[in-house]
């Protein structure tokens, strides 16, 4: 197993080498065709936090598109054979055993381990469809920094959300839009993607499901370019949900109020805005 590394700070340098994407842009299973006919694409890392998700992995890992370069699975003290199943399905998968607890802690660890230019957050319960990854990548290649999944714009939806969760998400989203002058259509949803350099402009310090809200708000406060991407949420395939509607909703509310109180000036400004493709000089060696 891999040892946990500290959460990344300003330790990587970036060249603003820009890839010009013409009108013939096509993102398929493996390639991106630029206007000059060359095949160029960024390295894509996928982070999957898990806790007793062995059965669900059979429906997730085989569906991850081949354009993905790296899959980092952060296992949170599973008592089933999650790790063994992951290795059997995908021998090259990177496994990190979580020391702490919570989704926020898990994604921080996963982000720190990534070596890709683009990082995609994927749930381990089967609720997020890996086949949507090219949609998020395309949004980033169009010049956005953060592609935020939404179930409530055209092309999105949910067959899993309950009435209490729907009402809570609606109220919390409205509050965020009022306090931060945004037009988010969705808030408590964990299917997101972003360029690696965004991690130099934000710091994540929460441990639970509220991390999804904290990421969105800190991306906003760092003046990064955010776009919503339609996404379909599916029901959990196997096992019990780890989400607790009222407890986690309260944690999201506290996160919103905390972010509102904090000064925007306390966050570093992003290094690059609207760069479709950064040629990243990694301080970590690509495997």
Question: Domain holding 209: CATH number?
Answer: 3.90.550.10
Q: Which H/E stretch holds residue 149?
A: strand 146-150
User: At residue 30, does pLDDT exceed 50?
Assistant: no
Task: Report if residue 66 sits inside a domain.
Answer: yes
Q: pLDDT for 125-184, tens place per residue?
A: 999 999 999 999 999 999 999 999 999 999 999 998 899 989 999 999 999 999 999 999
Q: What are the CB-based long-range contacts (under 8 Å, 24+) for 139-143?
A: 139/193, 139/227, 139/229, 140/193, 140/194, 140/195, 140/276, 141/19, 141/21, 141/25, 141/27, 141/32, 141/42, 141/276, 141/277, 142/21, 142/227, 142/276, 143/225, 143/274, 143/275, 143/276
- Give residue 241's pLDDT band: very low, low, confident or very high (50, 70, 90): low
Please report the pLDDT score of residue 81 as a whole number: 96
Task: Report if residue 142 sits inside a domain.
Answer: yes
Task: Report if residue 3 sits inside a domain.
Answer: no
- Number of Cβ within 10 Å of residue 59's Cβ equals 15
Q: pLDDT above 90 covers what percent of the chain? A: 69
CA–CA–CA angle 96, 101, 107 (5° rounding): 55
Name the domain count of the chain: 1
- Give residue 21's pLDDT band: very low, low, confident or very high (50, 70, 90): very low
Q: pLDDT for 223-239, tens place per residue?
A: 999 999 999 999 988 87
Distance CA 92, CA 86 (A): 9
- Number of Cβ within 10 Å of residue 238's Cβ equals 15
Task: Report if residue 285 sits inside a domain.
Answer: no
Task: Report if residue 2 sits inside a domain.
Answer: no
Please report the pLDDT score of residue 264 as a whole number: 47
- DSSP H stretches of helix in 32-90: 54-57, 82-89
Segments forming the whole domain that contains residue 113? 13-278
- Give residue 8's pLDDT band: very low, low, confident or very high (50, 70, 90): very low
Whether the CB-CB separation of 182 and 174 falls below 8 Å is answered with no
Please report the pLDDT score of residue 278 as a whole number: 35
């Amino acid at each position: 197993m891999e040892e946990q590394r500290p959460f990344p700070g300003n330790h990587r340098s970036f060249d603003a080498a820009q890839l010009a994407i013409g009108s013939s842009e096509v993102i398929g299973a493996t390639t991106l065709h630029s206007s000059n006919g060359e095949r160029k694409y960024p390295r894509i890392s996928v982070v999957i936090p898990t806790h007793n998700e062995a059965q669900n992995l059979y429906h997730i890992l085989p569906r991850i598109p081949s354009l993905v370069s790296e899959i980092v699975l952060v296992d949170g003290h599973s008592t089933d054979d999650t790790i063994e199943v992951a290795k059997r399905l995908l021998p090259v998968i990177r496994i990190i055993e979580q020391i702490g607890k919570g989704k926020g802690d898990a994604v921080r660890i996963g982000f720190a381990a990534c070596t890709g230019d683009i990082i995609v957050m994927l749930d381990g319960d089967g609720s997020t469809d890996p086949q949507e990854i090219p949609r998020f990548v395309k949004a980033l290649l169009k010049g956005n920094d953060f592609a935020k999944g939404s179930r409530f714009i055209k092309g999105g939806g949910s067959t899993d959300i309950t009435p209490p969760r729907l009402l809570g998400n609606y109220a919390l989203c409205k509050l965020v839009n009022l306090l931060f002058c945004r037009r988010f259509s969705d808030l408590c949803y964990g299917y997101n993607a972003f360029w690696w350099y965004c991690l130099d402009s934000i710091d994540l310090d929460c441990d639970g499901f509220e991390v999804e809200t904290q990421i969105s708000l800190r991306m906003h406060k760092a003046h990064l370019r955010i776009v919503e991407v339609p996404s379909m949420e599916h029901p959990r395939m196997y096992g019990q949900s780890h989400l607790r509607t009222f407890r986690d909703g309260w944690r999201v509310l506290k996160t919103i109020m905390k972010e509102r109180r904090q000064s925007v000036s306390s966050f570093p400004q992003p290094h690059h805005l609207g760069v479709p493709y950064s040629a990243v000089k990694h301080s970590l060696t690509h495997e």
